[in-house]
Structure formats: C-alpha cells, structure tokens
Structure 1
Amino acid sequence: MTDKATIRVFIADDHAIVREGLKQILAEQRDIIVAGEAENGLDAVKLAGKARCHVMLLDISLPDRNGIDVLKQIKKDRPELAVLMLSMHREDQYAIRSLKAGASGYLTKQSAPRELVTAIRLVASGQKYVSAALAQTLASQIGENHEAAAHETLSDREYQTLTMIASGMTVSEIARELSLSVKTVSEYRSRLLVKMKLKTSAELTHYAIRNQLVD
C-alpha cells in the first residue's frame, strides 16, 4: 500500500443493499475510504484499476461471472491488489479455493463489522487474513499424508456445478444462473462425475451432504 494514511477500497457486489451496508461500515473508519464499486464481474475488472484501490471486496457470486474467475483475472492484471473475498457460503466451501486462486483473505457475509475492518487493514498491509477455524483446516492439510478428497480434484467451475446440483438445481437452471449453455453445464457435470467416480446426480447430492459442501 503506497498511502499509509488511507486505505482505498473497491466493492464488487451485485446487491445494492450489501454495497450500501459495507460503505456505511467503512465510513466510520478514519483510515479507510470507498474508492469505487461495481455490481458485476466485468465492471469489477474494468473499474478496479481506475479507482487506484488497495483492497477489493469481491463477492464470490456475481451475476455474470464466478467470483473466483474474476479474482484470477484481477490478479493477472493487477497482481499487487489485495482481494478479500466475501461470500454467503461457509469457509469450508470456497475459502481454500479462493486463497489458491490468489485471494488475500476470505470472509463470510455473516462476519461482524469489526472483523471486516480488521481483515481489510491486514490484507492492505500485505498479509493474509483467515479465521481461526480456517487456519486450523489449512494446518490439518499440511503434511505428506494428506490425501485430497474427491471434490478437491475438481476445477472451480466443476466444483460450483457440484454444489448447485446438490442444492437441487437442474442443469437448465444452472445454465441460466451461470450464463452458460445447457451443453456446457452438462459437460461439467459429466466431467465431475468421472473425476469423483460417481454415476448420478443423486450420488453427487449424497456426497455433498455427507461432506458438508452444501447448507
């Protein structure tokens, strides 16, 4: 961060109420200002550079692109930008994938405002932010004996398709939600079934529930 006095934050979230809530929280902090905002992934990528921000708060569920895809593009264009992922999903669902894709931290939207401010200041200083629970999860995965679970072998889009199928959505509904063709979503479904050595959507759903991948 070049300006030690002020942390410039960019908010990317498709819900206007969420953006306004975040702005109110940050307006109370003397060392943080909101330098810009976007309601979709395309604008987040385009406007982040113009806003000259230090930290981006990025929703993982955007209407036009998956948040992790947006994260990867932003880190490619602006590797120095600290990106703090915000999500309705529990940490164990997307946090590790976000960190591997280049995020500086991950927060659920249920987090307390004080935790949000702490996380922003930490990642702005060049550090990573993870909760105590996530830190424990990461620590447990260190070591030669850690064997990846079947869902950990999936690509980000395959994993997203898995969680949406397990939540009860049809291929057509997923295609609409992700702005993809039914054929593309069907290919993701076929690939993840092969990787996980499963045969049906019912088996996928059972696996996701057993491994607490869906609420």
Structure 2
Amino acid sequence: MTDRRIRVLLVDDHSIVRNGVRRMLETAGEIDVTGEAETTQEAMRLVQEQDFDVAVVDISLPDKSGLDLLRMIRNDKPRLAVLMLSMHSIEAYALRAIKMGAAGYLTKDISAGTLVDAVRKAAQGGKHVTPELAERLVNAIGTGGGGAPHEMLSDRELEVLKLLASGERIVRIAELLHLSPSTVTTYRSRILEKTGMDSNAKLARYALENGLLT
C-alpha cells in the first residue's frame, strides 16, 4: 500500500444514498469522496474536469442508465475504475456490468467493510467479485456466453423490459426514455422475440422471478 489517498466519485440521484455511502467510505482513513453527481451528464462533466481513482455508480440514474455511464467512462477514461452499486440482485445486471469492464458489482445492503475493501481493490487495479458472481461468470464462459434470456438483451431493451414489467404504457415509456412510441414498440417486439414470450404479463412475471424489479 502507498500513502496516496484514493479519490472517489459518487454517482447516485438519491442524496440519502450518497450520504450513506460517503459515511461508509469515511471509515477508511485513506479514501476521500472528492466528487458527487446525480446524473450521467453531471458525472461525465466531473470525470473530464477532475481526476478520480474510483467511481461508485448506481445502476438506475434519471437521464441514462449506470451501464451507459460505465460505457462512457470506459471510453473516455479507461483507467478510472468503476464499481456498480445497485438495489438489484446479482441476477439482474452483474454479469453485464463485469463484461463491460466494471471493477465490481455491489448491492446496497453491503457492509461498510465490504464497500471499503472493494474501493481499495478497484483503486489498485483489481476487481471485487463475490463467489456467487465468480461462479456465474465461469458458467457464462462455459456456455459460450449464454444464460438467462434477459442477458441477451441490449441495455436499452433491458430498460424497456423493466418498465413494461412495471406496468408502464408505451407512451409513458417513450417519455421516460426520450424515444418515440414507435421505437418503444419495436423494442417491445424484440424483447418478446428474444425472451420467447408473448405478453406483458409474462414479461412481468419473468422480471419478478429474475430480480429485475425493485
């Protein structure tokens, strides 16, 4: 270990979550939260203006998804380690995040010690992978990348699936994602085809059973 301090960017649209994460990180003497953002746009502005060692990013953000932000950071600042933080279970997004280059995937019920260890490891260039996630990664590699149907969806298709499963109508989904209703309808058709389902009700049941809804 060096004496250099670890600079962390927190990205979450809920101030109470950011406050809680900051307090957990402050239990470690060498970690400083030097930036906070509520949206991907704010986060990318900070990434371009400041130097960070680790970004702790929520999966669900108001303007784009945390996975979109992960991709943007990997393209713009590939040396900046990104830890994904989510209320979703391992089943929902972890494999997707790790395959996209995340340094780890953490759920919001973790302990302060686990969070601090993950940030330290990420800052040193390592990855925080739980035994459960490691097993799923091995299984995914062993099956040629196959897995649950939702793992075959694009990031946008996964967002649309979640909203459909939550009972949102096409027009409302279009408003939330800044898309046209016809584009959302196209996404819905692709989702049904890829998952082998034929109704929103079945999508809702599938999403519930696979931990895609919070």
Q: Normalized against structure 2, the TM-score is what?
A: 0.90
TM-superposition CA deviations, 1:160-209 (whole Å, max 9, x none): 21122223332233334334333332221122112223322122223334
Q: CA RMSD, aligned part only?
A: 2.1
Instruction: Give percent identity, aligned residues only.
Output: 45
Q: Aligned equivalents of 2:143 and 2:70: distance in 1?
A: 29
Gaps of 5+ in 1: none
Kept in 2: contact 1:64–1:179 (CA 8 A): no
Gaps of 5+ in 2: none
4+ runs deviating over 4 angstroms: 144-147
5 Å-filtered alignment, 1:135-150, equals 135-144=134-143, 147-150=146-149
In the alignment of these two chains, the number of paired residues is 214
Amino acid at match of 2:55: M
State the match for 2:184 in structure 1.
185
Once the two structures are TM-superposed, the CA of residue 84 in structure 1 deviates from its matched residue by 0.4
Kept in 1: contact 2:54–2:80 (CA 8 A): yes
1:172 aligns with 2:171: yes
State the match for 1:204 in structure 2.
203
Kept in 1: contact 2:7–2:52 (CA 8 A): yes
1:11 aligns with 2:3: no
Q: Aligned equivalents of 2:32 and 2:5: distance in 1?
A: 7
Q: Secondary structure at the match of 2:24?
A: helix
Kept in 2: contact 1:58–1:85 (CA 8 A): yes
User: Which range is displaced more, 27-36 or 68-77?
Assistant: 27-36
5 Å-filtered alignment, 1:1-215, equals 4-144=3-143, 147-214=146-213
TM-superposition CA deviations, 1:38-65 (whole Å, max 9, x none): 1111010111232210000111111111
**Using a 3 Å threshold, how does the CA distance of structure 1 residues 204 and 111 change in structure 2: closer, same or farther?**
same
Q: Secondary structure at the match of 1:65?
A: coil
